[in-house]
Each structure stands twice: as structure tokens, then as C-alpha cells.
Amino acid sequence: MHQKEQITELLECPQELTLVKIVLLAGLEKVIANCLDRQSVVKLKIAEFFRLEVEAITEGSDSDESLSAELASLKMDKLKDILKKAACAFHQKSGLFTAKSYQVAKPYFEVLRELFGISDVEWKGILAHEANLDCEELSLQFYNKYMANKDDMASPGHLPTRP
């Protein structure tokens, strides 16, 4: 999956949305596992939020090809936006520690960055930018999505328990 040409060919097939979702979800799952290992509850909630956002983007086609193409484009734009916000949020570090959440997802994010055509300059700007996610707003959004999906997420081991 590290060959850009192969991935570009896969993107040209009708399942391009599926490929992007798989890679983005794989990166987010790495972040979630890392956060659980480190007991980083804040970044875990953020990762769960982004995962729910990606999963909410449904695949499907419309009988009208022009409408279907526009809908697919909007979904890809949404995934690109999620990628940018996730990279920004996970690249933020506290104190002297490295951004471990970003490091585990970096290979996945880098593949998607290239596929979306995000330049090095733009990517560095995204990573250098202070997280533009209002923590209270993000927490509220996560809570609302969690409550809407709590039966699916209530499986043992899905969320960390308090010590």
C-alpha cells in the first residue's frame, strides 16, 4: 500500500470512497489503541469522535450520474476535512512529550495526504496550527454522538474505565 501509483489506480475505481474510509479508519483505530494503552482519555474521545464522523459517511449511489458524482465529491471533501482536523488535533502535544497519537497514525495520514494532493507547505501549516477545535464544543458533539450510538459502543473494553 506504499506504492502511490497502485493507490492512485485504486482511487480511480468506483470504490474510491471505501478505500479512503478504510485507510482513515485504520489510522484512527491505531490512535484509539494507543490512547487506551496510555490512558489518554482526551485524545481517545477526539479519536472516537472522528471515527464516528467517518463511519457516518455512507456509501451508495444515485441513479442520476451527475448527482451521484457530486455527492461522492462532497463525501470526499468531508473525509479530507476530517483528515486535516484529526492531524491537527493529534499533532498537538502537551509539554515536552511527543505527539504519540499523531505518530501512530502518521503513515495512514501521509498516504491520504498524498492522495488528496495536500502540499507539504499546506500540511506543515495544518500540523503547526493550534487545534481549532473548541474543546467544549467537541466534547458536546462527542457526547451527542456517543448517546446516539451508546448501544453499539457499550461493549466491554470499548471505552476506558476510570482507575
Which triple of cell numbers denotes residue 17? 470512497
Cα–Cα distances in angstroms (integers) from residue 68 to residues 8, 74, 86, in the given order: 21, 10, 27
- The rounded Cα 97 to chain-centroid distance in angstroms is 22
Q: What is the pLDDT along the chain (163 residues), one digit of tens a residue?
A: 445 665 665 566 557 788 899 899 999 999 999 999 999 888 899 999 999 999 888 766 556 677 777 888 899 999 999 999 999 989 887 666 678 999 999 999 999 999 999 999 999 988 887 655 555 566 566 667 767 776 655 444 444 443 3
> Which phi and psi angles does 131 have, rounded to 5°?
-55, 120
pTM check: above 0.75: no
CB 38 within 8 A of CB 136: no
Domain boundaries, the chain: 14-151
How many C-beta atoms lie closer than 10 Å to residue 87's C-beta?
23
